[in-house]
Amino acid sequence: MTNRDEDYQQRNIIIDKAKQKAKEKALKKGAKAVRKVAKVAIKVAMKAIAVAMKTIITLLSSVSLPFLIGAVLVLFAIFIIFIATTLIFSEDSTLTGEAKELQEYIIKQANSTVDMSKPEQIPYKVPEELIISVMQIYESEDRKVSSKKAVEHIAEALTPVFTYEDYTGYTETETTTCNDDGCSTSTSKSEFPITLLTHVTAWNGEMTAEVEETISDWTTSSSSSTYTTTIADGVEETHTETITTKSRTHSYVANENFVEDYTYFESTLMDSPFNYREDDLTIVEILYQAAGGVMNYTAMKEGISLGDFGIDMNVIPGAGVPAEYMQYYLGAQKKYGVDWFVLSAIHFTETGYSTHPTMVSSVGAEGHAQFMRCTWYGWSYPGCKGSNGHVEMPTKDLFNIAIIKKYGGLGIDADGNGKASPWEIADAIYTMAYLLARNGYSSDVEGAIWHYNHSPAYVNGVMAKAKEIKEAASYEASGGEIPPSTVKNGFVQPTTGTITSVWGNRYLNGEPDFHAALDISNKRGTPIVAIADGTVLKMGSGCPQEGKPGSKCNDGWGNYLWLKHTVDGKTYEAVYAHLSKHIVSTIGAKVKQGQTIALMGNSGSSTGPHLHIEMHTPVRVKYKNVINPLLYLPFEAKK
């Protein structure tokens, strides 16, 4: 057994014991008792964690070891209470009284976050386990609301946003009638409405559907009938009439693509009335995972994306990553949700980007991504059981898709040439991504990589290389107009569009207001470039794509970048706000003048897609050093 397995087993034992103890208490005293314990516990936890973070280093040399051990045990006990409480209300079917009533109400509110009569919405329902996990922190403070009201607040806040689009399909019919006089054909069209779910903003990501028109095959039916007519002298003639009907349906289907992302989750809970911090959300993640849920909020915050790169942007690899392989990394990322830079890192680690002389390892792993034959063709293939994974195979079985299907192998024919070969780059990279996805990449990146090689050192090496590859790449918007490169006073125009609000005094909602920036509006996704060479000082993320006036998300800026620029020896600081997406996403990153750094959006306190750009010199100290951007930036647009 590996250390990972031992840790997981120990974690289950601890949770089971904590659940048993807390359950006994809950059954005796009901929901009030459990909530009371949770309230006290989380307040102590927040204080203890805050104090520990600030003082643990200075105290380390002056306090006794037993004191430190005791503090750790107290914090551990508090989290066990949280975990146990979450498990009780999410799993226990034996609750009674007030506890049972609250449990049923949580389930009811979770179901209310979607229309349960619409199957397409059900996968996006807010899980009751998540409501319970969020509720523990919400109720730990004096909110002056009942438990049921708290559940309502949480369910309503996290309710997904659904977008439907209407289409019109039709059935095309051709009717051919043949008799003694010949054949005639008539056509008709019968329309029918189609409503498709095309976009969802959910607590754990966004679904965007690509609508595709479909035409069914013709279906044919025919019938014949006879009739008689009387001619001269009473003679009757028999006639046959045949009617042939062909029909086919013109319809539309939505091909859904879900991207895991916790922007909605974070921005909703950081906004009023919750006002959570990142450490609060981390606790929510721990509790939710303890109850069996899957969440990757912490991984997102640490910079491991989950399939978002390549959408709305072109990826330009850094030095050392062969550009010819990017189509396979990005294609496999889109299909299986495995980050392109992790695929690239494994490809490099295994075969040095396919440069190893034979691409056959000492144990028989072969091809661009070093697959054992039994993994590729299936472990039920003759001879695989009990082997190290390499077996001799007849030529007729090699790369045979039917053999892979028969024996349960993983090999994929990604390039559609009728064979699945580890020696073909597309097949190898797509199969690599498929293997990682099967091994739980979406919930445990490092765990999935570990299954690829079963070595902690291998995991560490791949993760380090993936980080290096990701940070060395640059990202450019794939659509939208890049602003002109005209330079004025050492600056270039940050984006294209229409100036909708200039720097200076204005009226906002009928009230006088000083606008310390320049607003430039255009469609969402319009590229935004750096006005000069610079460095990223700060950044803000996690705000919903659709902002609203008065939003406090990131102080109203929404998603933003704060850059330091130096022009002709003079220092400036610029804030680029209300973004839909960061393309430069690392604090300290160096940018070049005219480099695409973000995409225009509508996040934060905003009424529509636009760029809010502030300029300050030499540094931003609220609005003490603010300057008018129009006096410095070239701007060629309708004002």
Give which of 365, 319, 355, 326 is closest to 343, Cα–Cα.
326
- Domain membership of residue 290 (yes or no) is no
Percent of the chain with pLDDT over 70: 79
Dist CA 300 CA 20 (whole Å):
33
Same domain as 556, residue 516 = yes
- Domain membership of residue 521 (yes or no) is yes
Same domain as 138, residue 226 = no
The residues pairing with 177 across neighbouring beta strands, listed in sequence order, are 184, 243
- Domain membership of residue 592 (yes or no) is yes
CB 157 within 8 A of CB 150: no
Predicted confidence at residue 238, as pLDDT, reads 86
Q: How confident is the model at residue 293 (pLDDT cuts 50, 70, 90)?
A: confident
Same domain as 233, residue 148 = no
Predicted confidence at residue 476, as pLDDT, reads 63
Same domain as 338, residue 216 = no
Predicted confidence at residue 61, as pLDDT, reads 39
Same domain as 124, residue 207 = no
CB 366 within 8 A of CB 357: no
Same domain as 107, residue 6 = yes
Same domain as 21, residue 6 = yes
By residue range, what is the domain housing residue 167?
161-260
Same domain as 166, residue 142 = no
Last residue of a domain, one of 201, 227, 260: 260
Task: Count each helix (H run) and each strand (E run) in the chain, helices first.
Answer: 15, 19
Predicted confidence at residue 181, as pLDDT, reads 86
In three-state secondary structure terms, 465 is helix
Residue 294: pLDDT over 70: yes
Give which of 375, 495, 518, 388 is closest to 436, Cα–Cα.
375
Predicted confidence at residue 85, as pLDDT, reads 56
pTM of structure: 0.45
In three-state secondary structure terms, 493 is coil
Q: How confident is the model at residue 538 (pLDDT cuts 50, 70, 90)?
A: confident
Predicted confidence at residue 464, as pLDDT, reads 87
DSSP H/E element including 504: strand 504-508
Last residue of a domain, one of 241, 260, 279: 260
Residue 358: pLDDT over 50: yes
Give 331-346 pLDDT, tens digit per residue.
998 888 888 999 999 9
- Domain membership of residue 266 (yes or no) is no
Predicted confidence at residue 234, as pLDDT, reads 75
- CA of 356: how far to CAs of 58, 178, 326, 347, in Å? 51, 70, 19, 11
Predicted confidence at residue 399, as pLDDT, reads 96
- Domain membership of residue 293 (yes or no) is no
| Choice between 32 and 543, residue whose per-residue pLDDT is larger | 543
Distance separating the N- and C-terminal Cα atoms of the chain: 68
Contacts of range 581-588, beta carbons closer than 8 Å, 24 or more positions apart: 581/312, 581/313, 581/525, 582/539, 582/541, 583/313, 583/474, 583/475, 583/476, 583/477, 584/475, 584/536, 585/303, 585/539, 586/303, 586/471, 586/536, 587/536, 587/537, 587/538, 587/539, 588/535, 588/536
Residue 298: pLDDT over 90: no
Residue 506: pLDDT over 90: no
Last residue of a domain, one of 458, 474, 490: 474
Q: How confident is the model at residue 141 (pLDDT cuts 50, 70, 90)?
A: low
Q: Which residues contact 169 (CB under 8 A, 6 or more apart)?
A: 191, 192, 193, 194, 249, 250, 251, 252
Residue 41: pLDDT over 50: no
- Domain membership of residue 276 (yes or no) is no
Same domain as 68, residue 34 = yes
Same domain as 228, residue 341 = no
Dist CA 9 CA 14 (whole Å):
9
CB 555 within 8 A of CB 572: no
Give which of 363, 360, 403 is closest to 387, Cα–Cα.
363
Same domain as 507, residue 624 = yes
Give which of 69, 79, 71, 14 is closest to 41, Cα–Cα.
79
Q: Are strands 570-582 and 559-567 parallel, antiparallel or unpaired?
A: antiparallel
Give 309-326 pLDDT, tens digit per residue.
444 567 888 889 999 999
The arithmetic mean of pLDDT across residues 44-70, rounded, is 41
Strands (E), 203-235: 205-215, 219-230
Identity of the amino acid at 364 = G
In three-state secondary structure terms, 195 is strand
Predicted confidence at residue 299, as pLDDT, reads 59
Residue 77: pLDDT over 60: no
Percent of the chain with pLDDT over 90: 41
Residue 303: pLDDT over 70: no
Predicted confidence at residue 248, as pLDDT, reads 96
Predicted confidence at residue 108, as pLDDT, reads 94
Give 259-289 pLDDT, tens digit per residue.
677 878 888 888 788 888 777 888 888 778 7
Sole residue written with tokens 């299936």: 378
Same domain as 449, residue 307 = yes
Give 561-582 pLDDT, tens digit per residue.
999 999 999 999 999 999 988 8
Task: Give the DSSP letter of residue 549.
Answer: T
Residue 407: pLDDT over 80: yes
Give 479-496 pLDDT, tens digit per residue.
567 788 889 999 999 999
Residue 5: pLDDT over 60: no
Mean pLDDT of the chain: 80
Q: How confident is the model at residue 305 (pLDDT cuts 50, 70, 90)?
A: very low
Q: Which of 150-154, 241-245, 545-549 has the lowest mean pLDDT?
A: 545-549
CB 497 within 8 A of CB 611: yes
Task: Give the DSSP letter of residue 126.
Answer: P
Torsion of CA 120, 123, 125, 126, to 10 degrees: -160
Predicted confidence at residue 312, as pLDDT, reads 52
- Domain membership of residue 40 (yes or no) is yes
For the chain, the domain total comes to 4
Identity of the amino acid at 280 = D
Dist CA 113 CA 127 (whole Å):
9
Predicted confidence at residue 140, as pLDDT, reads 62
User: Alpha-carbon Rg of the chain, whole angstroms?
Assistant: 31
- Domain membership of residue 574 (yes or no) is yes
Q: How confident is the model at residue 33 (pLDDT cuts 50, 70, 90)?
A: very low
Predicted confidence at residue 420, as pLDDT, reads 96
